[in-house]
Structure 1
Amino acid sequence: MNFENLTVIVTGAGRGIGKEVARAYAADGAKVVIAEVNKEQGERTAEDIRREGGKALFVPCDVSREEDIIGLVDQTVQAFGTVDILINNAGIANAHAAKFYELSAMEWDNVMNTNARGCFLMTREAAKVMRNNPNGGAVVNISSTRALMSEPDTEAYAAFKGAISSLTHAMAVTLGKDGITVNSILPGWIETGDYSGLREIDHSQHPAGRVGIPGDIAKACLYLTSPANRFVTGAQLVVDGGMTRKMIYEP
């Protein structure tokens, strides 16, 4: 796929899935804006991309702060002229750490404000620019298979992932008239740490035969935002190696 001269914002691009997504777009010719709350991680991602011959700009951004989001989009337009693609990946990594009976209203609000509200605000501001592009734009929201299934004590995490999935089809309908597609990806088990430390049982519970890697999600982003795939909008793409389709019976 060719993203030559398109401008892409990737939030939470300092590590893991977000970093790999940013690298993938840069490798295909895009100008990539690294939006990351952690300055050290964000700068490292941008430096890695430039070292690999790509174009990257790091902009500090906390997606729980509306002013940061507005500033991010303004800086992107100043640097590259427009916004063509937005990948909403940023979120609180340990959003499901608190137990049900100990989960406070403040913790709940922090998760929802950073992750669900941040996704909405980021899309709103980027869409204001995209709607003026000759070819509109494309948005991908990174949700999770946790929007479809759960483990105990994951209420806040499941709620914000479910919200992102619902936001996706709502925004797809709203923004369609402006030439903007909105889709979501629901990753399953994507290992961002030591892949070699995984066990055979970890891989075998996936019909695809292995645990996922960040590159699997990056490829899905490229597909959903390709100018050749404009007919795909409002979709939820599950990328989990078939794990959620496998019935597991406990003895």
Structure 2
Amino acid sequence: MRKPVALITGSSRGIGFACACQLAKSGFDIVINSRNSQSDNHDLLLAKEEIHKLGAKCVIAQGDISVIAEHENIIQTVLKNFETIDCLINNAGTGAKRRGDLLHLTEDSWDHCLNLNAKGLFFLSQKVASLMLDDDLSTGINKTIINITSCSAKILSPDRAEYCVSKVAASMATQLLALRLADTKVKVI
């Protein structure tokens, strides 16, 4: 029987890396992701090595989640190595470029947060959910999409409005996707 496969975005360090390690300990094979290439990211190579030590097969799927055109390459890397995705953890995220008065918020800073924290999360989830629905669900392996958001989806922080709005959007995307998939075997949290 095959191991379940998890793709964790933004997983070369921090929360994403911790998720990858826990899933590896729980019997998953792991696909870690970073927008930086292996040669530019020492953390990514260390993360892969650590996950191997935990007994999991680990593959790197390089790509920037905020760039929708890069999603296909990330997914194809997973499918080439494992043929399926059983768990997607949307962890990749970014903060405001600079805190300050929301009356001086720039479009560039707005796009910086929204493109990764909301748009990238939504469209990657959409593609992976479609793959999960087309997959053989008789294997007994659960299909799950987990979106990491923030307390900033509910707590007002006017000096980083773009971040708060992006996390509200991520939370709403999670609820909408969960509702859409409620009668399937794909769970969204």
Deviating more after overlay: 70-79 vs 6-15:
70-79
Specify which of 58, 62, 67 is matched with residue 60 of structure 1.
62
SS of the aligned residue for 1:54 comes to coil
Computing the radius of gyration from Cα coordinates, the structure with the larger value is: 1
**Which residue of structure 2 aligns with residue 5 of structure 1?**
3
Runs of 4+ in structure 1 over 3 Å off: none
1:14-93 map, 5 Å: 14-39=12-37, 40=41, 41-92=43-94
TM-score (structure 1 length as normaliser): 0.67
> Any idea what SS the aligned residue of 1:176 has?
coil
Q: 2:96 maps to which residue?
A: 95
Distance 1:158 1:96, change over 3 A: farther
Q: Which has the higher helix share?
A: 2
- Using the alignment, how far apart are the partners of 1:149 and 1:96 within structure 2? 19
Aligned-residue Cα RMSD (Å) equals 1.6
Contact 1:127 1:180 in 2 (8 A): yes
What is the identity percentage for the equivalent residue pairs of Structure 1 and Structure 2?
29
Q: 1:197-240 CA distances to partner (integer Å, 9 max, x unpaired)?
A: xxxxxxxxxxxxxxxxxxxxxxxxxxxxxxxxxxxxxxxxxxxx
Aligned to 1:44, the other structure's residue is in SS state: helix
> What's the TM-score, normalizing by structure 2?
0.88
Aligned residues: 179
Structure 2 unmatched ranges of 5 or more: none
Which residue of the partner structure matches residue 115 of structure 1?
117
Is the CA contact (8 Å cut-off) linking 2:97 and 2:112 kept in structure 1? no
The equivalent of 1:133 in structure 2 is 136
Q: What's the CA shift for 1:96?
A: 6.2
Pair 1:182-2:188 in alignment: yes
TM-superposed deviation, 1:67 = 2.1
Give 1:80's aligned amino acid.
F
Query: Which residue identity lines up with residue 58 of structure 2 in the other structure?
Result: A
CA–CA distance in structure 1, aligned partners of residues 103 and 186 of structure 2: 41
